[in-house]
Structure 1
Amino acid sequence: MDGENPMIWAAELHHYKGRYYYFATFTNRDVKIDTVRGNVIERRTSHVLVSDKPDGPYAPMKDPVYLPADKPTLDGTFWVGKDGKPYMVYCHEWLQNWNGTIEKIELKPDLSGSVGEGKLLFLASDSPWSKERREDGSIVPNKVTDGPYVFRTQTGKLGMLWTSWIYNVYAQGVAYSESGTLDGPWVQEAEPITPPDFGHGMLFRTFEGKLLMAIHSHKCVNGRYIRIPHLFEVDDAGDKIVVVKSF
């Protein structure tokens, strides 16, 4: 799965039916799956590990592949639909399709593998807030999709955080499903949900019941890309979440 010099990204831990599941992105730099516009694409995929304890150890399950090996995917997250079926929501990377996507795939009941094929939920270009400037000076939606996280507000509205860029600034938006299911259609909010240079957020409730968003900014230090964690207080009492203040 990971080769000799792997990159392991985007850890998420989810408690489900008495066990703990570790959703992560693995890149095997020894395996090349495609070349697009002169760029060689390495084997990258979202995968699931399992443990009986939150602090591990975590081990792979039965199926070695959840998503197609010829498709670079990342940032898998977990959701259980109204139908009771478990799903992985993930990105198909823009490096291959040049217009990143958010997709879903059904998981086996014990999350040990996937069922059927992935389904498109929305495209990077659906975003009204993300932007990039082409070489000819024209401004178009950014092609990056990153860090999906699915949630439901207290009124039952289904939403999804996801991240892209506004020119060279990391930015996080939110979309809401008109059907209340992963199938959408997903309507994008006009503006980012968090301040500039924050992205890849998740929501969690403290033991005291306060809803917080865990998120990161980043900076380069001596050529290294350093992620800096941060918390925001969030209000989910209505049909749309509101970021209240830095925590």
Structure 2
Amino acid sequence: MELLVLTPIVGLVAGLLGAMFGLGGGFLMVPLLTIAGVDMRVAIGTSSAAILFNSISAVVAYSRYRYVVYRAGMVISATAVATAYLGAMLTRIVDVRVLKVLFGLVLIYVAVRVALARGADRGVENYRLTWTLRTYLAVTSGGLLAGLVAGLLGVGGGVVNVPLLTFLGVPMHNAVATSTLAITVTSTSSALTHYTIGNVDLQLLALLAPTLVVGAQLGAATAKRLRSLTLRRGFAAVLVFIALRTMLS
């Protein structure tokens, strides 16, 4: 009964924050579900499948606001899918504990940079990224890194996508929207993988999905109303939370 009540609430909060910051929501769903007594593997697998509902809902909202930079999102997602499997395989041969500490420290550094960055105060409709060789290399490399990190450490690609796009000059709101598109594609692959190996609890997913969809709409609408500085600082705070959780897990 407790899980029946808590799961939809987890979905609503994770959906709101995941869509607001372009992170998918897994960073919140996995720890909360495990605290509620769900097996870690099932929590990760079900969260991966649930993120798909959250991301699709958020992309619909951000597309309505015309914030999504589609080409960048598709390039990131295509390259991330290519390295996510490699990252998962590397967990068998590398000391993940050391990597978690190093990655956590890098995330804290990135959080500070994002919080102090300057840019457009609001989202820009139909924003166009100037595609030079440097841009292609940066976006492709970022996608490869996002997939590797997701597979190796179980951290969503949004922690790489959003800072990468903002450093390329993309306004914060547009970076969040574009990251959400990339997560939609990569989470599809992840969800199918977890489903085939039996890590997805369909009953839990059925409880999470409706509130994730609603939460994503609320998160996108909230992000649209926030100033870029507020959104950046909120994103930075979430990055620090993820960094500490990664290092201590």
TM-score (normalizing by structure 1): 0.25
1 or 2 for the larger relative contact order (CA 8 Å, sep ≥6)? 2
* The structure with more helix, counted as a fraction of residues: 2
TM-score (normalizing by structure 2): 0.25
* The structure with more strand, counted as a fraction of residues: 1
* Greater Cα radius of gyration, structure 1 or 2: 1
